[in-house]
Amino acid sequence: MEKPGQSIDTVRRFFLFLLSVLSLGNFLFTTEIISQESNQKKPEKHSVHTENKNDLQDTNEPDGILVKGYTDTGLTGIKQNVRLKDIPATVNTIDDRELKARSADQWLSAISYTPGILAIQNYGGFNTLTIRGLDSRNVLLLRDGVRDDTFLIQNSSPMSNFANVERIEILKGPNSVLYGQGAMAGVINLISKKPQKKAGYEFSASGGSFGTRRASLGATGPIGAESLRYRIDAATSQYEGFRVNSHSLNNVFSSLEWDISQKHTLSILSGKTFDFTKPDAGLPKSKNPKTDLVEPGISPNNNYNTNDDYLKSNSGSFKIQLNSKFSNILSMRSFISHLPQTYYYFAAEDLSHSSIDQNTIERDHLHFETKRSPLQGTVELNWTFQTGFKHQLLSGYEYHWMISRHRRRYFPEGTTSVHIQYPKIDSVQPLPENFTDRKTLYQQMHSLYFQDWMEFPGAIKFLLGGRYDS
C-alpha cells in the first residue's frame, strides 16, 4: 500500500513531467464555426421496380468501397468503379475529418503518419518523401487529377497550406500504365473541396506556441437554382518558429459547377497561392561524427542563416472539366488545365568548421529561380459491356506540354562566416549577381492508354492495361 508521502511525490513528479512536455510542444487552440443547412432528406415512399438485364449493373454482389477516379465521392485508384478490395495496390485516404483531428494544414503533418511513407522537409521549405524506399522522383503528384511534375523534375517542392483540400488519396505501387512517367512508387492526389447544392459556411481560427496563427474561411451553395453551384475557400498560416525559421502560407481557391443537363456537368476550378518561408540551414555537424551528430554545446535555437535568405513560392491553378454520362454503361471525362509555378530561393545551405578559427562557421550559398508553365489536356472514355464476362474498359488520350526555365548561382564554402556559439541573423556580404547556370526545358508528350477490368465467373478478376507515350 502506497504511503501518503509517496503519493504526494508521485503527483509532484507527474506535474513536473507535464510541464516539461508543455514546454517542448507546439500547441494550437482552435475556434471553428460551421453553419450549414440541414442535409437530412424527408422520408420518401419507396416503389418497387425491376432492373433491365441490359443495364449491366451487378446487383448480386454485396456493397463495397468503390474506387471511382475523380468523382465526388470516390477514391483515386484506377479511374474506374472498382471495389477497394479488388485493386492490386494499397490505397490510403486522409479525409477532411482526419486532417482536422491532426490539426494538419500542411503537407508534412498531413501525410507523415501514413504507413510506408517517409516525408521530410529540407532547408525549411522544400518537401520530399519516399514511398516504400523509392524517392520523390518515382512519386507522381496530382492536383484534382492533373499532373504536377515538380517531384519528377527536382525531387522536392514547396507546398502551400491545405485549407481547400477535402482529402488526400495515396495509391502505393506501380501506376505507370495509367499515369505515365514518375508513377513507379505511387500516386498522391490532392482533392479540392467541391461546390454543394446546400448553402454552407465555414470559419476557423487557431493560435499556438512559436507564433502560430491560422485562419480559414469557406462558402458554398447554389447560385439561384441548384444546377449552378459555387465554392470559395481562403486561408492563411503564419509561423514564427523557435529557430526564427518562419513561414507565411496564403491561398485562395474558387470553383463553379453547372449541370448543363442530366447528362453533362461543367466544372471550373481556379486558385492562387502566395507563400514565403525563411530557410533553415540546420546546425553545424560534429567534428567527431562517430560520437555526436551535431557539435556539442550548441543551442538548438541557434540559426545560422542570413537576414537575406528566403524562399518565395507562387503558384496558380486553372482547370475546366466536362463530365458526360451518356448512359449507364458509357461515360466520358475531358478537361484542360494549367498549373504555373514560380520559385525564388536564396539561402545558406552547408555549414562547415573553419580551418583557421575554431569558433567560426563558414557557409556556402545557393541562389536559384524556377519558372514552370505546364499545360495538360485529357479525354477519357469509360465503357461497360459483356462478352461472356463483364468488362469495364477505360481508354484515354492525354496531351502534355511544359516549358521550365531554371537559373542558379552557387557560392562555395567560406563565402560568408558566423560565430559558432553566438550567431546573428546578419545581412550577407555583397555577392556577384550574374547567373552562371541557366537551363530551359521543353516537353511535349502525346499519350494513349487503356485499362480493361474483367470479371469472370467464380469471383475471378483480371486486369489488363497498356500505355504509349511519344
pLDDT tens digits, 329-384: 999 999 999 999 999 999 988 899 998 888 899 988 888 999 999 999 999 999 99
**Residue 124: pLDDT band by 50, 70, 90 thresholds?**
confident
Domain annotation covers residue 257 = no
Is the confidence at residue 138, as pLDDT, over 90?
A: yes
Mean pLDDT, to the nearest integer, of 35-58?
Answer: 43
Mean pLDDT, to the nearest integer, of 172-193?
Answer: 89
Q: Do 284 and 180 share a structural domain?
A: no
Is the confidence at residue 428, as pLDDT, over 80?
A: no
Domain annotation covers residue 395 = yes
Lowest-pLDDT choice from 39-48, 172-181, 372-381, 437-446: 39-48
Beta-carbon contacts of residue 157 (< 8 Å; ≥ 6 apart): 126, 127, 128, 141, 148, 150, 151
Q: Which of 144, 175, 192 is the last residue of a domain?
A: 192
As a whole-number percent, the residues of the chain with pLDDT over 70 amount to 81
Phi and psi at 402, nearest 5°, equal -155, 145
Domain annotation covers residue 438 = yes
Mean pLDDT, to the nearest integer, of 243-259?
Answer: 93
Q: What is the pLDDT of residue 412?
A: 80
pTM: 0.81
Q: What is the pLDDT of residue 396?
A: 95
Q: Do 293 and 173 share a structural domain?
A: no
Which is more confidently placed, 230 or 88? Answer: 230
DSSP secondary structure letter of residue 109: H
Q: What is the pLDDT of residue 24?
A: 46
Per the listing, cell 503558384 goes with 315
List the one residue out of 278, 209, 248, 238 whose CA is nearest residue 425: 278
CA distances from 369 to 271, 314, 342, 379, 464 (A): 22, 12, 8, 33, 43
% helix, strand, coil for the chain, step of 5: 10, 55, 35
Q: Do 299 and 172 share a structural domain?
A: no
**Residue 271: pLDDT band by 50, 70, 90 thresholds?**
very high
Identity of the residue numbered 329: I
Lowest-pLDDT choice from 20-34, 60-74, 244-258: 60-74
Q: Which of 167, 192, 217 is the last residue of a domain?
A: 192
CA distances from 275 to 235, 296, 310, 458 (A): 11, 34, 11, 54
Which is more confidently placed, 321 or 175? Answer: 321
Q: Do 180 and 292 share a structural domain?
A: no
Q: Do 288 and 167 share a structural domain?
A: no
Is the confidence at residue 50, as pLDDT, over 80?
A: no
The C-alpha cell of 339 is what?
Answer: 498549373
Q: Do 286 and 186 share a structural domain?
A: no
Beta-carbon contacts of residue 400 (< 8 Å; ≥ 6 apart): 147, 374, 375, 376, 443, 444, 445, 447
Mean pLDDT, to the nearest integer, of 100-121?
Answer: 88
Domain annotation covers residue 256 = no
Residue 342 sits in which domain range?
279-470
Q: Do 179 and 324 share a structural domain?
A: no
**Residue 81: pLDDT band by 50, 70, 90 thresholds?**
confident
What CATH number does residue 117 fall under?
2.170.130.10
Which is more confidently placed, 80 or 374? Answer: 374
Domain annotation covers residue 181 = yes
CA dihedral (73, 74, 80, 84) in degrees, to 10, reads -140
**Residue 106: pLDDT band by 50, 70, 90 thresholds?**
confident
The C-alpha cell of 155 is what?
Answer: 525531387
Q: What is the pLDDT of residue 96?
A: 87
Q: What is the pLDDT of residue 384?
A: 94
Report the domain count for the chain.
Answer: 2
Contact in structure between 248 and 214 (CB atoms under 8 Å): no
Phi and psi at 290, nearest 5°, equal -70, -25
Is the confidence at residue 463, as pLDDT, over 70?
A: yes
Contact in structure between 231 and 199 (CB atoms under 8 Å): no
Q: Do 284 and 183 share a structural domain?
A: no
Q: What is the pLDDT of residue 190?
A: 92
